[in-house]
Chain A
C-alpha cells in the first residue's frame, strides 16, 4: 500500500508540473518578444508574401534593430506599425488599447470616381426610398440602389424589398462605390437575389502551413438563387477603388452572372479574409490568411477590373453629372433596345 501511495504521490504532481514543460511557456511580455512574435505569426500565416513579392526577412533586419526592451508602448507601436505598413495591405492592422495602424494606399493613391453629394442632390433628391442599408430610386425605367457599407448584417427582407421594388424594370444599377466592406455574408445574400442559377463564383485558398506558399487546394464557392424572386434583367454594378474586402467579394460574385456588367474603376481588392492574432501584451495583429481567386483563377487581392472602365469627369462632376452612373443608364437603355 505504501508503495502504491508513493507511486501515486510521485505521478500526479509530476503530471501537473510536466504540462508547462511539455507545452512550453509563453515568452515574457517584453517589446523584443512582442516584435519577434508579431514577425513570426506573420511569417507563418500571411497570405501574400509571394503575390506582393515581399522579402519578410529583410524587413526583419531593417526593423528589429529599432526594438529594445526599454522602449515605451508608443515607441513599440510605432515601429511595429511601420513594419506592418510595408506589407501595403488594407487588411493588415495592429490594435493596441490606444491606436490602430492601417494602410489605406489601396484607395488613397487613386482617383475617387465618386461624389456622394452629387448622387444625393442630383439623382436621389426627393425621390429616394431607404430600405434598410439601401438607398433606392427609379431613374426613368431603371432601378438605382446605393449601398455604402456592409458594416451591418444585411437583412434578407431588406434586399427582397429592393428586388420587389425593381421588378419589371428594364435594368438595375447597383452602386457600391466607396463601400469598403464589412460582413462577409453580404455578398452572398445580395448576389443571390440576382442569380439566374447556381454558379461558381470564387475559390478560397487557406494558408495551411508555415512556408509562404503553403496553401490548401482551391475550395469552390457557389452562389445560388435566393429570396422569393430574383432580378435577372440587365444589371450594372458601379465600382471604384474604395470597394474593398466583403464588397470586393460581392463584385466578384456578381461578375459571374452573364446579365451583370461591372462598370467604373478597378475595385480596391482585399480578397484575403483577415484573422486576428494576439501578442504577449494583449495587442492584436490582423492579417489575411486566405486568398480569393475568381473562377478563371485570377487573384482578386489587388482589385477586380471593370468590364467597362469609366472615369468620373471633373467637368461632369461640376455640372452635377455622375459620368459613371450616366454611362450605366445609357448601357442599360441600349441593351433593352436590343432584341
Chain B
C-alpha cells in the first residue's frame, strides 16, 4: 500500500512538474465546449462471462470542456456508447449476442514540455485521469448473466501538436498517448446471474461489486490509449474535430478481462 501511495505521489509530481517547467508565454487560453458523436468497434474476452472473443459496433456520443493554449492542453470529457457484441468465431444466432454499454470520463492535463522540428511540433507531457465503466449482459440465454466494471486510472501521458495550413484555414493535428500507472478498479471476477426475483431484497451483487475494489499497478492492470485528432478552425472561431482513438486494457484477476476498442468521432468545439 505504501508503495502504491509513493507511486501516486511521484505520478502527481510528474503531472505538476511540466506545469512549472513549461514556458508560460502568457498567451490567452482558448476555451471550448465540445459536443460530438461517433462510432466505436470494441472487442473483449472476459473469462468471467465467456471464454470467447466478443466484438461489435457501438454508437457513441461525447461532450467535454477543453482549454488550449501554447503552454497548456486540458480536456475534460465524458462519453457514452451503446451496442451489441457477439462471438467473433461463428456467426452467432441472436441468442449469443450481448448488450454492451460503456461510459467514460477523462481528464487530460498536459503542459508544454518542448518542441521539435524547428518549433513546428510542440511536445506536451503530463498526466491523465481516465475512468471507464463497462456493462455487458447475456440477456438472451437461459439466465441473464451480467458483468460490469469500473476503473479509474492515473496515467502518464504525452502529446504532440502540429499546426498546419490546409486549404483556406488553419488546422491542428493532435496526437496523445497514455499509459495507466495506478488504477482503482471495481470488478468482481465473476459475472452475476440474475434469475428473476430477489430484485428488491438482495443487495448481495451490489455489495460484492463494491467489495471487489482494488488499487492496482501495472502488475495487475495494464493498458494503453492513443488518440489522434484533426481540428479545423472555422470562421466563427469554433472548431470542427475529427478524431480517432484506440484503447486497450488487461485486468488480471482470476477471471481475466482483456478489452480493446477503436473509435471514430466528429465533434464541434464551441469557442467560449
A276 and B196 within 8 A (CB): no
B191 contacts across to A, CB distance below 8 A:
275
B207 at the interface (CB under 8 A from A): yes
A4 contacts across to B, CB distance below 8 A:
117, 121, 160, 162, 173, 175
A314 at the interface (CB under 8 A from B): no
A208 and B162 within 8 A (CB): no
B3 contacts across to A, CB distance below 8 A:
none
Task: State in angstroms the CA–CA spacing of A220 and B201 once bound together.
Answer: 9
B145 contacts across to A, CB distance below 8 A:
275-276
A281 contacts across to B, CB distance below 8 A:
90
A274 and B160 within 8 A (CB): no
Q: Which of A283-291, A293-301, A302-310 contacts B (4 or more CB under 8 A)?
A: A283-291
A209 and B196 within 8 A (CB): no
Q: With A7-B175, A210-B254, A274-B142 as given contacts, are A188 and B197 in contact (CB-CB < 8 Å)?
A: yes
Q: Which of A24-32, A117-125, A134-142 contacts B (4 or more CB under 8 A)?
A: A24-32
Q: With A210-B254, A210-B255, A216-B208 as given contacts, are A221 and B201 in contact (CB-CB < 8 Å)?
A: yes
B232 at the interface (CB under 8 A from A): no
Give the interface centre of B142, B143, B197 by most chain A CB atoms within 10 Å: B197
A24 and B90 within 8 A (CB): no
Contact of B208 (CB < 8 Å), options: A22, A24, A219, A280: A219
B141 and A276 within 8 A (CB): yes
B246 and A16 within 8 A (CB): yes
Q: With A15-B246, A44-B47 as given contacts, are A209 and B142 in contact (CB-CB < 8 Å)?
A: no
Q: Which of A79-87, A179-187, A229-237, A323-331 contacts B (4 or more CB under 8 A)?
A: A179-187
A12 at the interface (CB under 8 A from B): yes
**Which size bracket describes the interface of B in this complex?**
35 or more
B173 contacts across to A, CB distance below 8 A:
4, 8
A222 at the interface (CB under 8 A from B): yes
Kindly supply a per-residue 1/0 record for chain A positions 1-40, scoring 1 wherever the CB is within 8 Å of any chain B CB and 0 otherwise: 1011001100110011011001111100100000001001
A277 contacts across to B, CB distance below 8 A:
50-51
Task: State in angstroms the CA–CA spacing of A210 and B226 once bound together.
Answer: 33
B143 and A275 within 8 A (CB): yes
Residue of B nearest to A277 (CB): B50
A282 at the interface (CB under 8 A from B): yes
B138 and A276 within 8 A (CB): yes
B164 contacts across to A, CB distance below 8 A:
1
In the assembled complex, 19 residue pairs joining A and B whose CB atoms fall closer than 8 Å, in A order, are A4-B121, A7-B160, A22-B258, A23-B53, A23-B260, A24-B45, A24-B53, A26-B53, A153-B196, A184-B143, A185-B195, A186-B197, A206-B190, A209-B190, A209-B254, A221-B201, A221-B204, A222-B198, A280-B90
Chain B positions near chain A (C-beta within 8 angstroms): 43-45, 47, 50-53, 87-90, 92-93, 96, 117, 120-121, 138, 141-143, 145, 160, 162, 164, 173, 175, 188-193, 195-198, 200-202, 204-205, 207-208, 226, 228, 244, 246, 248, 250, 254-255, 258-260, 262
Chain A positions near chain B (C-beta within 8 angstroms): 1, 3-4, 7-8, 11-12, 15-16, 18-19, 22-26, 29, 37, 40-41, 44, 153, 183-189, 198, 204, 206-210, 214, 216, 219-224, 246, 273-278, 280-282, 284, 286, 289-290
